[in-house]
Amino acid sequence: MILLILLGVNLAATILLAFIGDRKRAPELNIICSGATFAASVFLALSVYEKGPIISGNGFFFVDAFNVYLAVLTAFVSMTTAIFSRRYMRVERSRGKVGHKGMRFYHAMYQLFIFAMLLALLTNNVGVLWIAMELATLATVLLVSLYRTPAAVEAAWKYFILCGVGIAQALFGTVLLYFAAERIFGEGSKGLLWTNLSAVADRLDPTVLSLAFIFFMVGYGTKVGLVPLHNWLPDAHSEGPTPISAVLSGLLLNVALYALIRVKVLVDGATHSHKAGYIMMVFGLLSILVASFSLLRQKDIKRMFAYSSIEHMGIATFAFGLGGPVATFGGLLHMLVHSLTKTTIFFTVGHASQMHSTQEMSSIEGLIKGNPLVGWGLMFGVVAIAGMPPFGVFTSEFLILTASIKNAPFFTPFFLLGIAVAFAALFRKVMPMAFGKVPDNQKPIRVAYVPVIVHMALILVLGIYLPTFLSQWFHMAVELLVR
């Protein structure tokens, strides 16, 4: 029931907003719908917390500790992003960047995107998971090109093609998975249900599954933004409207990684080896290194943080590849805190670039003086994302690093190098923006305070205090993932 509300609200909102998305109160409606989704997700989470995993809809939906936490996160961030987008899009609209049609489209697709992600998270069917992932891509493609600038169209095109091709490979992986499952379950949709698959994981054919994993890795890896499949990500994140960049970075990447992890559990069960883990570690490490070095020479502010997302997804992938309770715990936590932190950063970045009417970092200056919330928000966001305590990212990186030096000491120096370079690159660029005098081209705008403050508070709290229920949750998820 709750599941239907959870998904239905978004779907209904999509249709509704497709018609009235340009009205004066449409942003509020957007917020309310997202809020309702969030409330539903919290109820769902509570029932999972009390009663354990739920399978419903004839086995179509499956909710356990792992995906429900991501669902709550998705619903929450989509709600705060909707709040942010209210003020942000108002400015964009007043500057003539988007018209009536654009607003309708924007709001509808926003809700559709959230729906797709929630569906991907909550479904039990690996095939439907694929469909939802594709839907999420399709919903955002045209949002990226919303402004119709040459750069936006180019970015959207690349996003569309690369993710399309990537996800097609994931479909091939799904076919192979089904192929392996069919030998046990026979014909029918039973063979694609994750619950069934995981129950018989050790009976699945190892050759087929390792082959399938490679296609999944390349397919969903493209969506996660792992190097060398990442090329769409900086473009798409930098050219779309900032709320979309925020949810792409903060949510979509998580969902893709979620899909990958679900598959990895099956593959590990089938092959009884750590091969999948090693592949993920290599991808993760490569992403960390390439992204961090790329960060050094960025000029565009959103592009820079897009690379930072690649780096952090690399860290999370590395952590899950590493396996073991500590690293997996760290990885789960990292997904959560990265999502919160990166969206905060995008909120402030969005306002900052609106204040200066540019995304060029060299023209942005004096944010703290100009607008303390934006300036300090960006500064602390970067402090957090760079892995400094007392913010949550540090906690997860702490766990991952310590686990990596225990289990994979020879990977650790590269990891360290990546972290250090990324740190240097981010601070080098952010300091001149946050500090200094207010330049002439800076104009005051109305800023969304609530999301930034709420997110920062959450990240801060997560850095020094993990509530018991959250950690219980993570432990439950860890148990699901680590056999």
- With respect to another protein, which residue has the nearer C-beta, 53 or 164? 164
**Cβ closer to another protein: 40 or 266?**
266
First vs last C-alpha separation in the chain: 31
> What mask, x for binding another protein by CB under 8 A, covers residues 29 to 68?
----------------------------------------
Q: Is 421 in the site for another protein (CB under 8 A)?
A: yes
Query: Hey, which residues between 345 and 374 contact another protein (CB under 8 A)?
Result: 368
Report which DSSP code applies to 62.
E
Taking the complex as a whole, how short is the minimal distance between the CB of residue 241 and another protein, in angstroms? 16
Candidate ranges 37-45, 155-163, 312-320, 448-456; the one touching another protein (CB under 8 A): 155-163
CB of 211 to another protein, least distance (A): 7
Work out how close the CB of 65 gets to another protein at its nearest, in angstroms, rounded to a whole number.
15
Interactions with another protein, residue window 370-399 (CB under 8 A): 383, 386-390, 394-395, 398
Residue from 49, 414, 427, 449 touching another protein (CB under 8 A): that is: 427
> Binding residue for another protein (CB under 8 A) from 28, 52, 101, 165?
165
Among 106, 160, 258, 305, binds another protein (CB under 8 A): 160
Does residue number 202 form part of the binding site for another protein (CB under 8 A)? Answer: no
The binder of another protein chosen from 195, 210, 358, 363 (CB under 8 A): 210
E-strand ranges in 290-397 read none
Piece in contact with another protein (CB under 8 A), picked from 75-83, 89-97, 213-221, 337-345: 213-221
234 part of the interface to another protein, by CB under 8 A: yes
Residue choice 229, 255, 256, 355 for contact with another protein (CB under 8 A): 229
How wide is the angle at C-alpha 394 spanned by C-alphas 388 and 399, nearest 5°? Answer: 145
Mark 109-148 with x for binding to another protein (rule: CB under 8 A) and - for no binding.
----------------x-xx-xx--xx--x--xx--x--x
Nearest approach, Cβ of residue 361 and another protein (Å): 13
Residue count at the site for another protein (CB under 8 A)?
112
Q: How far does Cα 434 stand from its chain's mean position? A: 26
Contact set for another protein, span 306-325 (CB under 8 A): 324-325
At residue 361, the 3 state secondary structure works out as helix
275 near another protein, judged by CB under 8 A? yes
Here the tokens at position 358 are: 């540019």
Other CB atoms closer than 10 Å to residue 107's CB: what's the count? 27
Where does this chain touch another protein (CB under 8 A) — which range of 1-9, 254-262, 416-424, 441-449? 416-424
Q: Dig out the tokens for 266 from the structure.
A: 């099956």
In angstroms, the CA 313 to CA 74 distance is 16
What does the angle CA 146 – CA 373 – CA 384 come to, to the nearest 5 degrees? 85
Q: Which helix H or strand E contains 54, and what residues bound it?
A: strand 54-56
User: For residue 444, which phi and psi values (nearest 5 degrees)?
Assistant: -70, 140
- Decide: is 453 part of the binding site for another protein (CB under 8 A): no
What are the C-alpha distances in Å from 137 to residues 84, 168, 253, 377, 397?
22, 12, 11, 29, 29
Written as one string, the DSSP assignment of 174-219 is HHHHHHHHHHHH-SSGGGGBHHHHHHTGGGS-HHHHHHHHHHHHHH
Tell which one of 57, 93, 402, 439 touches another protein (CB under 8 A): 402
How far apart are the C-alpha atoms of 227 and 282, rounded to whole Å?
A: 10
The nearer residue to another protein, 36 or 176, going by C-beta atoms, is: 176
287 binds another protein (CB under 8 A): no
Options 5, 12, 54, 153; binder of another protein; rule CB under 8 A = 153
Q: Does 463 bind another protein (CB under 8 A)?
A: yes
| Ordered alpha helix ranges (H), 386-411 | 392-407
> Contacting another protein (CB under 8 A), which of 101, 183, 272, 446?
183
User: Looking at 56, 196, 198, 231, which residue binds another protein (CB under 8 A)?
Assistant: 231
Among 101, 203, 272, 437, binds another protein (CB under 8 A): 437
DSSP output for 76-127: HHHHHHHHHHHHHHHHHHHTTSS-HHHHHHHHHHHHHHHHHHHHHHHB-BHH
Cβ(237)–Cβ(303) below 8 Å: yes
Count of CB atoms situated within 10 Å of the CB of 127: 17
72-104 as b/e, with b when 16 or more CB fall inside 10 Å? Answer: bbbbbbbbbbbbbbbbbbebbbeeeebeeebbb
